[in-house]
Structure 1
Amino acid sequence: MRMSAPAAVQMDSTVDIQDVAVRFRSRKRDVTALREVSLSVRSGEFVAIVGPSGCGKSTLLKLVSGLLRPSTGQVRLLGTEVRGPRRDIGYVFQRAALLDWRTARKNILLQAEMRAMPSAAARERADELIAMTGLTGFEDAYPHELSGGMQQRVALCRALLHRPPVLLMDEPFGALDALTREQMNVELRRIWRETGTTVLLVTHSIPEAVYLADQVVVMTPRPGTVDELIPVDLPAERDYGRTMAEPEFARVTGRIRDLLGAATSAE
């Protein structure tokens, strides 16, 4: 039996999306990207979003960040309606988007400059994040001197510099090789547990979603809506290899594949 998204706002929710639809209009046609999407994310929860290409996963993150307004429905973040771009989030994209002429540390501190954060506190926070993400020794390296995985670590540090209560991640490891991606999954899971930040992750990787998340949101083909919410009943401490061998891991990944396979055949 499929689990529908909660209709009522949860009191401890950090993100609440209620009956949201997004429609784009052009001269040639109207496109409905999302329809009747409802989702509540609790404080400190890690939620992964998966679905077919073009189903509106990235659009959902743009709604939460305030970069896009819903055509109908409402999005609330930290108890207030999202009416425009929010400064109380962190955002990590598929590409690190680092400035070539700035070192790793200065790329991280760009966040502080944009937000006019006190310089001493920002430098202290940057040092903390550099140590947390294993970048010690590479603080003064330029982007071209860093591997893809290291560049994404810098981007993650930049996003976390101002201690955002909500971190949005849009396919952040999609461009990495398989081994580096696994390593980044392990690092992200550890960093999330240390920071307690609420995370919404968009990914095309089913194993990545299940390894990282407390709950996986499976979306339908466009116009995207929530097909099923799947809780992930795995230990908080997750060794990568042992987690992959867990019966619960196989159950959840299998269920997601069934849903996405059905979605694909229905297109």
Structure 2
Amino acid sequence: MTMTRDTSLRDSPGTTAPGAAGDSGKTAEAGAAAAVGLEKIAVRFRSRRRDVTALHEVSLDVAMGEFVAIVGPSGCGKSTLLKLVAGLLKPSAGQVRLNGEQVNGPRHDIGYVFQRAALLEWRSARRNILIQAEMRRMPSVLARARADELIAMTGLTGFEDAYPHELSGGMQQRVALCRALLHEPPVLLMDEPFGALDALTREQMNMELNRIWRETGTTVLLVTHSISEAVYLADRVVVMSPRPGTITEIIDVGLPAERDYTQTLARPEFHEATGHIRDLLGAASAHD
């Protein structure tokens, strides 16, 4: 496993330390356009009572097709980073780029999955997925074909006409994932998508997400409080400091893209990475 500190990316955007690509080979190379680029980002919130610096000097390049997880203590700015990439929030300083283009406002070419599935109770699973097509005015035939493809990919076949109250929490999140992927976004943002699920369902969703990521080739940026989840899923794990959030260290987990769950958790690279992240965060800062 290769450990690379934040400064290697901050000083030379788009580059990593030698060997940092690990088994995946997806780490951004010098001169290559990053799917997501953050350059010396700062975010400050001002109110009548006080000023709060949420993020300070955050720089990160995420290569196309790469899976990057972000972990850190509550309030360190993890979700704020996703909002910056989505264009829902403007940085106080620095630049955000998506596929080489500066982000100046809400982006419609990304997918976003939240902790809660947020499905419409009066619409079936299929119609909840297709709401994305309606909002984007996608051709009906194309949208339905894509929805069928995603329903099969996520194991929802047979539940297309079920309503949210008839689906388990895991199935509801599968519907939310299908909805986010319907328009084939080049970048998928995920904010604690499995945090509300029970442990067994969460493991199953981790395995499903790994498979779907490999099949679609989508760039994924995942925020999670689970160290094990971050290491199992990601090519690299970004460890954040307490507020004001900065990048403490960027860890290349060194695991192959295709990961059997039980075998991966037994690998020395997995234990080395999770142990190191726990040391960085401290027992009081993060949990599995």
Any conservation in 2 of the 1:20–1:73 contact (CA below 8 Å)?
yes
Match of 2:93 in 1: 72
Match of residue 138, structure 1, among 159, 179, 183: 159
Using the TM superposition, give the Cα deviation of residue 9 of structure 1 relative to its aligned residue in structure 2, in angstroms. 3.5
Match of residue 99, structure 1, among 120, 132, 157: 120
Q: Does 1:206 align with 2:208?
A: no
> Deviations 1:211-249 (Å, cap 9, x if unpaired)?
000000000000001000000111222110010000000
Structure 1 stretches lacking a partner, 5+ long: none
Match of 1:238 in 2: 259
- What is the aligned length? 265
The code of the aligned residue for 1:259 comes to: L
Q: Does 1:173 align with 2:173?
A: no
What SS is found at the alignment partner of 2:225? Answer: coil
TM-score normalised to structure 2 length:
0.90
Give the Cα–Cα distance (whole angstroms) in 1 for the partners of residues 4 and 186 of structure 2: 30
Q: 1:28 to 1:42 in 2, by over 3 A?
A: same
Match of 2:57 in 1: 36
CA RMSD of aligned residues (A): 1.3
Moved beyond 4 Å, runs of 4+: none
Using the TM superposition, give the Cα deviation of residue 12 of structure 1 relative to its aligned residue in structure 2, in angstroms. 3.1
Q: 1:210 to 1:88 in 2, by over 3 A?
A: same
The correspondence of residues 45-60 of structure 1 with structure 2, limited to 5 A, is 45-60=66-81
The code of the aligned residue for 1:146 comes to: L
> Deviations 1:73-101 (Å, cap 9, x if unpaired)?
00000111000000110000000000000
Give the Cα–Cα distance (whole angstroms) in 1 for the partners of residues 55 and 203 of structure 2: 31
The code of the aligned residue for 1:137 comes to: G
Q: Does 1:89 align with 2:91?
A: no
Q: Does 1:22 align with 2:24?
A: no
Identity score, percent: 78
Match of residue 159, structure 1, among 143, 164, 180: 180
Using the TM superposition, give the Cα deviation of residue 262 of structure 1 relative to its aligned residue in structure 2, in angstroms. 8.1
Give the Cα–Cα distance (whole angstroms) in 1 for the partners of residues 283 and 172 of structure 2: 36
TM-score normalised to structure 1 length:
0.97
Give the Cα–Cα distance (whole angstroms) in 2 for the partners of residues 176 and 170 of structure 1: 14
Using the TM superposition, give the Cα deviation of residue 263 of structure 1 relative to its aligned residue in structure 2, in angstroms. 8.3
What SS is found at the alignment partner of 1:13? Answer: coil
Q: Does 1:193 align with 2:195?
A: no
Structure 2 stretches lacking a partner, 5+ long: 15-31
Match of residue 6, structure 2, among 4, 7, 15: 4
Any conservation in 2 of the 1:220–1:263 contact (CA below 8 Å)?
no
